[in-house]
Amino acid sequence: MNAWHRHLPEGLEQSEVELLAGETLPSVWVRQWREQPQRAVIHDPESGWVKGQELLDRSEVVAQRLGHAGVEPGDRVLLSATSSAELVVAHVAILRLGAVVMPTNGAYRAEEVEHVVSDGRPKVAIVEQPEWREWIHSADPSVAVTSPSVELETGRNIRLDRTETTDPALIAYTSGTTGRPKGAVLSHGNLLSSVRGLEIAWRWTPDDTLILALPLFHMHGLGVGLHGSLAVGAKVVLLSEFNVDEVLHSIAKFDATMFFGVPTMYSRLLESPKATELEQLRLCVSGSAPLAAELHQSIHRVTGQHVLERYGMTETAMLVSNPYEGERRPGAVGFPLPGVEVRLEGDPAEIQVKGPNVFSGYWERPDENTEAFVDGWFRTGDLGAIDPEGYLSIVGRAKELIISGGFNVYPREVEDVISQYEPIQECAVVGVPDEEWGEAVIAFVVADREISDEEIKNFVGERLAHYKRPRRTYTLKTLPRNALGKIQKNRLVGQIET
Ligand code: MCA
Ligand code: AMP
């Protein structure tokens, strides 16, 4: 399915679209800032508006400090903090140095942090949580840990901005289809081509101002919201957390034109009596999880907005989007974005993709890389259908994944933790439909006594990020298994629906 011409504005031919032009993320950003040093780029509550010149200067200082600390091109730097201009400066600095950012979810607990550190072997970790220092050092005592202001010593004059399109920019941890989190290695070219495609498809221009309340440690907030705004030369207003009143207030205050969010954010915004503030936006985008058709319609009824739903993955950045012009179809994700090819393979039909945006593989995982691709096509693990007008819909998942409020939860990871709890003999974790979160994490356990929701929440919450805690736990005598001994999760879900 090579239907991306459907995203092009009138007068632009497919053959004229150039998504890469040998550039990198920082080469594009730095050029914009040099050309318009006095132009406001990022806003955060602490710094106010930060201009291009300041981003150039501050990122250079931080890059020199990291270089002095021994970070060389290709080395990894772990980065985890609440959204702020300071975090953006650190991100830009790492990339200008030619090093690779490992964006890491700030809700991670000790075992998750230790895994990422042992696997990715960063040279420096820039983190805001004091307790992470100990966790990082227990995995690797040689990592230099510093705060988001990167108060490291400076020294020799290191040359910046020498990175190439094919060089890695990010290692983003995701569990892919199975197993422990692995690092998806995304190059500058992967990330830049994706935002170039969005720039065209969403008619993103320097006149836009985006309200960004998504965290900057996952693809949606970082790879779409931040990278896109910086590449286009548009403005971005960073909110340190998602708060309904703050988002709605910021739209008017900053004369914003765009908002990007996950479905849970839209359902919360809609509950506000001030939801009509969304009316003034040029574009509202939803992604990371399915946007229910009813929610799509309710948002339109209340605010007049036809939310544009799109589909992406950590491994591929953005893949498919509803059109800017033309029908934004509820329940569908739309057409492949510029440069992206999509095909459906097998029965049930798996969505497979190709394009300059698709990563080259997982960090140091040759076996899993062989499984992840078939004839050069990346297997998404999502199941799809294409309707007669060419709209793609995601109809299910071949992979075991729960998406709760836009965050991914891998049942296996939660099961491994629950199994460590002494009273538990065996367990299974499933996702069930949930109005607020899209899907909710539910645990089934076998034990000699009744296990309470709170017990499991606390046990898991001490070991894994808060959003991975099961909302409810059911104690059973046995788990249903098929003839091969595999737990029948669909039968478990059936038990709680009745
Ligand atoms: C918070 N809680 C959650 C979640 N978030 N539980 C399940 N799932 C969640 N996602 C818990 C809190 O621990 C708390 O538990 C209770 O819910 C209420 O917390 P609250 O303060 O209301 O939540 P919040 O801090 O406002 O967070 C809700 C949120 C957040 C803003 C929707 O989950 C969020 O930022 N989601 C976006 C995730 C994201 O960026 N995904 C993009 C991945 P208790 O009451 O017990 O203390 S990138 C991706 O998927 C691909 C590439 C793509 O296509 O984009
Ligand atoms: P992640 O591993 O965080 O990159 O999550 C990627 C997964 O999120 C995809 O494989 C899909 O299952 C899901 N996803 C992203 N966008 C959408 C969407 N608009 N509708 C349904 N699922 C989505």
Please give the number of the atom of ligand 1 that sits closest to the Cα of 214: 40
Whether 289 and 254 have beta carbons less than 8 Å apart is answered as no
Give the list of residues 6+ apart from residue 9 with CB closer than 8 angstroms, or none.
200, 203, 325
Express each pLDDT in 210-245 by its tens digit. Answer: 999 999 999 999 999 999 999 999 999 999 999 999
Helical (H) or strand (E) element with 270: helix 263-270
Sign of the Cα torsion 42, 129, 68, 65 reads: positive
Please give the number of the atom of ligand 2 that sits closest to the Cα of 310: 19
Sign of the Cα torsion 14, 17, 20, 22 reads: positive
pLDDT score, position 495: 79
Atom 2 (ligand 1) nearest CA: 467
pTM more than 0.95: yes
pLDDT score, position 498: 46
pLDDT score, position 22: 83
Token pair 């297997």: residue: 379
Helical (H) or strand (E) element with 35: helix 25-35
Cβ–ligand 1 distance for 214 under 6 Å, the answer: yes
- Of 311, 395, 401, best ligand 2 pocket probe by most atoms within 8 Å of the beta carbon: 311
pLDDT score, position 458: 98
Atom 9 (ligand 2) nearest CA: 313
Whether 259 and 202 have beta carbons less than 8 Å apart is answered as no
Please give the number of the atom of ligand 2 that sits closest to the Cα of 172: 4
pLDDT score, position 261: 98
Each residue of 129-154: b (16+ CB within 10 Å) or e?
eeebeebbeebeeebbbbbbebebee
Query: What does the angle CA 44 – CA 39 – CA 228 come to, to the nearest 5 degrees?
Result: 65
Sign of the Cα torsion 430, 410, 226, 244 reads: positive
Pairing verdict, β 40-44 and 76-80: unpaired
Cβ–ligand 1 distance for 404 under 6 Å, the answer: yes
Atom 3 (ligand 1) nearest CA: 467
- Of 104, 295, 403, 413, best ligand 2 pocket probe by most atoms within 8 Å of the beta carbon: 403
Helical (H) or strand (E) element with 247: helix 244-253
DSSP conformation letters of 93-141: HHHHHT-EEEE--TT--HHHHHHHHHHH--SEEEES-TTHHHHHHHH-T
Cβ–ligand 1 distance for 319 under 6 Å, the answer: no
Please give the number of the atom of ligand 1 that sits closest to the Cα of 409: 8
**CATH 1.10.287.110 is the classification of domain 402-497:** no
Q: Using omega within 30 degrees of 0 as the cis cutoff, is the peptide bond preceding 336 cis?
A: no
The stretches in the chain having pLDDT less than 70 are 1-2, 176-179, 497-498
CATH class of the 4-395 domain in this structure: alpha beta
* Ligand nearest to the CA of residue 350, numbered in listed order: 2
Please give the number of the atom of ligand 1 that sits closest to the Cα of 317: 52
- Domain locations in the chain as residue ranges: 4-395, 402-497
**464 Cα: distance to centroid of ligand 1 (angstroms):** 14
* Ligand nearest to the CA of residue 218, numbered in listed order: 1
Q: Tell me the chain's radius of gyration from C-alpha atoms.
A: 22
Of 299, 287, 377, 397, which Cα lies nearest the Cα of 332? 287
Please give the number of the atom of ligand 1 that sits closest to the Cα of 437: 8
Cβ–ligand 1 distance for 209 under 6 Å, the answer: no
Question: Which protein residues touch ligand 2 with a CB less than 6 Å away?
Answer: 174, 219, 287-290, 309, 311-314, 333, 380, 382, 394, 397, 403, 408
- Of 265, 296, 313, 350, best ligand 2 pocket probe by most atoms within 8 Å of the beta carbon: 313
**450 Cα: distance to centroid of ligand 1 (angstroms):** 29
Of 318, 380, 330, 331, which Cα lies nearest the Cα of 4? 318
Please give the number of the atom of ligand 2 that sits closest to the Cα of 218: 3
